[in-house]
Amino acid sequence: MKKSLTIALVAACTLLVPSLTHAQERVTVDVNYIGGWFVSGFDYPHKPALITGKSYDANGVEVSAKVAITDVISVNGRYEHVGLRNAQFFIDDHERYQGGNVPGLQTEPDLQAIGGSVNYWELSGSFKLPKTRGHSLIVGVAKANLRRESSVTYTLPPLPSVPTSRPMPPTIFPPITVNSSLEAQQIAMLVGGEGSQRLRDVTFNYAGRVYPRMYRKDGWSSREVGGRNMKGEGPDQSSVGWELRVMATWAIVKHVGLTGGYEFRRLRTEVPNGFWPINENQDSKLVLVGLRIGF
């Protein structure tokens, strides 16, 4: 009996060592590099073919952790920091340029933009559902913060000289530089689902999240170099959103794996407008590459 049990345990360990499974590891930590694009765009329901806005190159880091409390319940945490650069204005109007020589998408660099960032925090719990082949329900809270910074320099024309008996040179004003920032914070409950499939040494994880109602607060600030500072806030708004995420993990050694995947997240807000409805979309299109460590 003891000999049979020993053989069974050795066989089980031999099969489980190449993969990162929750049965072995109660804690998994992912550290990923993020690269891709972030788009802050506007669409117009009265003119579906038109999309305008600003796109950025995005790169940063993501750290996430999952702790298995029991075989059914897990606690998840995730933080993303993405820096924004190389801002481009764009106009995408398929209806206007259809059939012509001018392409529907036109871009122009934003020379006043000096950078920005997107931060995302999430704390959630996952609960394995019976008879779903290991799929889980996700419930939690999330916060997203978008910050965009710009700088513009104004040059005032000189005052003309006043005709007098003794000529006076014109008055020349020094240039004025104003640094400004726009910030949008959104907080929401989230609900979703996740699952995984394994193919030899590679584990595929996939998840979807929905943010059914988000509280959004906008703010702005400007600072004149050597001068005054100003701050303000916009009205409270509500928004909705969703996220799709696919990751693959290749176990290279025990408790360590290489990760790679793709993430798309959209946060959508109806912009108050007295003329026609406008929707603002904050789209994150990110590729992730990194490491997974299990304990």
Q: Which two tokens stand for residue 234?
A: 């916009």
Instruction: Output the CA torsion 16→21→22→28 (10° steps).
Output: 130
Domain boundaries, the chain: 19-154+175-294
CB atoms within 10 A of CB 25: 17
Judged against a pLDDT cut of 50, whether residue 3 lies above it is answered with no
The pTM for the full model equals: 0.81
- pLDDT-derived band at 5 (thresholds 50, 70, 90) equals very low
Distances in whole angstroms, Cα of residue 19 to Cα of each of 132, 134, 204, 206, 294: 21, 16, 11, 17, 10
Q: How far apart are CA 192 and CA 65, in angstroms?
A: 17
Q: How far apart are CA 288 and CA 257, in angstroms?
A: 14
97's enclosing H/E stretch is helix 94-97
CA quadruple 46, 57, 185, 242: dihedral sign: positive
Judged against a pLDDT cut of 60, whether residue 2 lies above it is answered with no
Which of 86-100, 110-124, 174-188, 206-220 shows the lowest mean pLDDT across its residues? Answer: 86-100
Name residue 83's beta-bridge partners.
Answer: 59, 117
Write the CATH number of the domain with boundaries 19-154+175-294.
2.40.128.90
- pLDDT-derived band at 103 (thresholds 50, 70, 90) equals low
